[in-house]
Amino acid sequence: MAAKTTRVALIQMSCEASTEANLAKAVARVREAAENGATLICLPELFRAQYFCQREDHALFDITESIPGPSTAALAEVVREYKLVVVASLFERRAPGLYHNTAAILDHASSNQDCIADVYRKMHIPDDPLYYEKFYFTPGDLGFKTQRTSAGPIGTLVCWDQWYPEGARVTALKGAETLFFPTAIGWHPSEKEEFGERQYDAWQTIQRGHAIANGVFVCSVNRVGHEQGDVEHNGVMMKGPEGAGLEFWGGSFIADPFGRILAKASHDKEEILYADLDAKEVEITRQHWPFLRDRRIDAYGGITSRFLD
């Protein structure tokens, strides 16, 4: 098998109130990653705004956009110039009153508008203190997918999806060899001292488990910094709730099919994380750990039940 190495870049960034400033930063960071040799680049979840799901506010539906739309148009210019594949997580307006947390996969080889090769709509939608996503997002209806890009077969899942082995498994079974998890996850400041280390460890461990169980690379990219959820869009400022806000823990990482950490970012700085992924490692790892071969597909019928009494 001929070796095919792909340089991946994860854009760990902080987000300010201005949606325009965040888009400009994202475009600049994608360009920087491309100039450093990356051809497969992922941005964090909902990078155009501070994490607004800390409250329920109908005014925030004004920041939604269509796909294709302003964000994909801006990113497509860099995608074409440098011949890239870029994963961009956006607040999609699908129709009046119907909105999704959607990852657009842009590929320079695509002939579609704004280089859009595919979209994935977040399947698992959380509803927890300061993560009130069910107010904003309709659960995805496209299922788990593999995107066959010019940089190889990838699978895109989004944040809360990363806790579910079923999503990673189905995506891998559809041919993905690298899983991307654009993410916005952080600490409640009052809980950080007691629970912070174990929360991050659990987050990283579950995703390394996906890499091992499926024999795939896993690339998880988070935002970083403290946010109240302030959003400025089209000259209108929408303030986030008073209180401690959220401290996004960064810690973006890339794991190989054996679960080893190839690269890891800090918890408190903006960074671009790079790794060179060798496609043959997927097949070699699966040859030695043949989990897909030995699956008892005749015995898993209960997995589609809510609970087995």
Any domain includes 39: yes
Any domain includes 210: yes
CB 125 within 8 A of CB 101: yes
pLDDT of residue 309: 86
CA distance 6 to 150: 10
Any domain includes 297: no
CA distance 12 to 26: 10
**Amino acid at position 28, single letter:** A
Span 25-84, pLDDT tens digits: 999 999 999 999 999 999 999 999 999 999 999 999 999 999 999 999 999 999 999 999
Active-site residue set: 45, 122, 159
Using the predicted structure, report yes or no on whether residue 191 has a pLDDT greater than 50.
yes
| Percent of the chain at pLDDT exceeding 90 | 97
pLDDT of residue 306: 94
Any domain includes 25: yes
Q: What's the domain count of the chain? A: 1
| Half-sphere exposure (Cβ direction) of 70: Cα atoms closer than 13 Å | 14
Using the predicted structure, report yes or no on whether residue 1 has a pLDDT greater than 60.
no
Span 234-246, pLDDT tens digits: 999 999 999 999 9
CB 29 within 8 A of CB 78: no
| Half-sphere exposure (Cβ direction) of 146: Cα atoms closer than 13 Å | 18
Average pLDDT over residues 6-35: 98
Q: pLDDT: is 309 or 55 the higher one?
A: 55
Nearest of 115, 117, 175, 114 to residue 144 by alpha carbon: 175
Residue 39's CATH number: 3.60.110.10
Any domain includes 190: yes
What average pLDDT does the structure give for the chain?
97
pLDDT of residue 270: 98
Any domain includes 307: no
Nearest of 223, 241, 218, 246 to residue 231 by alpha carbon: 241
pLDDT band at 4 (very low <50, low <70, confident <90, very high): confident
Any domain includes 298: no
Owning domain of residue 197: 5-291
Using the predicted structure, report yes or no on whether residue 2 has a pLDDT greater than 90.
no
Average pLDDT over residues 202-227: 98
CA 56 to the chain's CA centroid: 23
**Amino acid at position 31, single letter:** R
pLDDT of residue 46: 98
Alpha helix (H) ranges present in 36-101?
70-82
Any domain includes 62: yes
